[in-house]
Amino acid sequence: MLTPEAKAELEKQQYRIIGRHSAVKTCGWTKNMIKGEGGCYKLKFYGIMSNQCMQMTTSISCANRCTFCWRGYKAPVATDWKWGVDEPETILAGSLEAHHKLLIGFKGNEKASKRAYALSRTVKHVALSLTGEPIFYPRINELIDQFHAQGISTFLVTNAQYPEQIRDLHPITQLYVSVDAPTKELLKDVDLPLFKDYWERLNQSLDYLAQKKQRTCVRLTIIKGINDLLLEKYAELIERGSPDFIEAKAYMFVGPSQQRLSMDNMPLHEEVVAFSQELAKHLPDYEIVSDHVPSRVVMFAKKKFKIDGVWKTWIDFPKFQELALSGKGFTALDYCTRTPQVGLSGKKTAEHQKEVKERFRKRTHIFVDEKTEEMAFYGGNTKASMV
């Protein structure tokens, strides 16, 4: 799947290539949590422990060349699978091995928490969203089942160009579909798709998403001045997919996307909040639940997750594993649990950046785990466990 040149470029960027078509790279939030510098938005929104999360893909190839993507144009693209197919067992074992090797430097790192690093040795979550299109891998269902058998939750992101694979996907912990623009014309400009029927594929993907019983999410990547418009059209697409959650997230000015877009295209967090508040007016079945300032992202949830006045967007991971391995049908509400902290922070990007600088100046590190009360890390509460 990769030319020697493309492989060398990825390895220079700290990717580790697994077999012929998969890859692993340590997420910055995994490193941050081990160092006591915070967890990712999936911790705040859904309860994932970032130090125990592995970021990988089963297909470096993709059917789009999205303008906002951190992929370089040397990365492969294709509409049909034309390569050999690695065994799921090989991908799983190779990914875990590469992931642990990438983190080994924290073992003797004075800035790292020994406990947080020790816990990282047990991977509990996999984010199938690193690069390319993971659902493209022909044996994705077998690999998903193997992750679950090992007690690893699955978060998979797809660009909505393979609707049949969405339809046939086995139950996963949370399935994301990217909706990158509100109209056919704009989607072509933003995603640069290879499929000629890309718009029909997106809509078919949303139809299949609406049929899923487990947790689903629509991801909006907001590019300032390009796709931050026609909110009523976004709402129509969202309602078609009927996801449990919506994440409106700022485009981040990183990687090769800097060659295609400018810093001005990266919204501030407060601009993402304003966009989200306007979008919410078109979505009566949803409410804004929370935000994560460092990631410039806002999370909406369907009102059904507000049970007896309490939001339950977090995931009961042991319950999910039990249900996934039972062979019986189940729904998203069967493995939800209380969200410790909800509501918009009210913070602006500049305010957050000032706080981060101050924390580094004071060398303040806070480590959280599943038992941390009320997500104390985000509220600055002293109940956070210091280790």
Q: What is the DSSP letter of 337?
A: E
* Residue 383 reports pLDDT greater than 60: no
Q: Which residues, in sequence order, are bridge partners of residue 3? A: none
Residue 36, helix vs strand vs coil: coil
Q: How far is CA 5 from the centre of its chain?
A: 28
Structure tokens at 384: 């956070």
* 30 vs 53: CA distance, rounded Å: 7
Residue 119 main-chain phi, psi, to 5 deg: -65, -30
Which residues 6+ apart lie within 8 Å of 149 measured at CB?
A: 325
Q: 225-267, pLDDT tens digit by residue?
A: 999 999 999 999 999 999 999 999 999 998 888 899 999 999 9
Task: Return the pLDDT at 367.
Answer: 54
Q: Are 42 and 114 in contact (CB under 8 A)?
A: no
Phi and psi for 211 in degrees, rounded to 5? -90, -10
According to DSSP, residue 230 is labeled -
Whether 112 has a pLDDT exceeding 70, the answer reads yes
**Calpha distance 332→305 (Å, rounded):** 9
Q: How many CB atoms lie within 10 A of CB 133?
A: 25
Query: For residue 134, what are its two tokens?
Result: 């993971």
pLDDT(125) > 90: yes
Whether 374 has a pLDDT exceeding 80, the answer reads: no
Domain residue extents for the chain: 4-379
Strands 153-158 and 125-128: parallel
Rounded Cα distance between 245 and 286, Å, is 8
For residues 159 and 205, what is the distance between their CA atoms, to the nearest angstrom? Answer: 9
Q: Is the pLDDT of residue 379 over 50?
A: no
**Of the listed ranges 20-34, 114-128, 357-371, the one predicted with least confidence:** 357-371
Question: How confident is the model over 280-336, as pLDDT tens digits?
Answer: 999 999 999 999 999 999 999 999 999 999 999 999 999 999 999 999 999 999 999
Q: Which residue in 373, 378, 367, 381 sits closest to 344, CA to CA?
A: 378
- pLDDT over threshold 70, residue 364: no
DSSP string, 2-34: --HHHHHHHHHTT-EEETTTEEE---HHHHHHH
- Which pLDDT score is estimated for 384? 34
Say whether 100 sits in a helix, a strand or coil. Answer: helix
Average pLDDT value for the chain: 90
Residues in the chain: 387
> What's the pLDDT score for residue 360?
66
Residue 381 has pLDDT above 90, yes or no: no
| 44 close to 29: Cβ distance less than 8 angstroms | no
Given the structure tokens 């139950």, which residue do they identify? 171
pLDDT digits (tens, 9 = 90+) for 141-155: 999 999 999 999 999
* 160-177 per-position pLDDT tens digit: 999 999 999 999 999 999
Instruction: Please state the rounded mean pLDDT for residues 110-123.
Output: 90
Mean pLDDT to the nearest integer, 24-49: 91
Res 377: pLDDT: 43
* Predicted local distance difference test score (pLDDT) of residue 269: 96
Whole-number pLDDT of residue 386 = 26
Least Cα distance to 74 among 30, 11, 155, 146 occurs for 11
Q: What is the model's pLDDT at position 106?
A: 93
Decide if 225 contacts 184 (C-beta within 8 A).
no
Distance, CA of 363 to CA of 25 (rounded, Å): 27
Give the pLDDT confidence of 57-91 residue by residue, as tens digits: 999 999 999 999 877 666 789 999 999 999 999 99
CATH superfamily entry for domain 4-379: Aldolase class I (3.20.20.70)
pLDDT at position 76 is 84
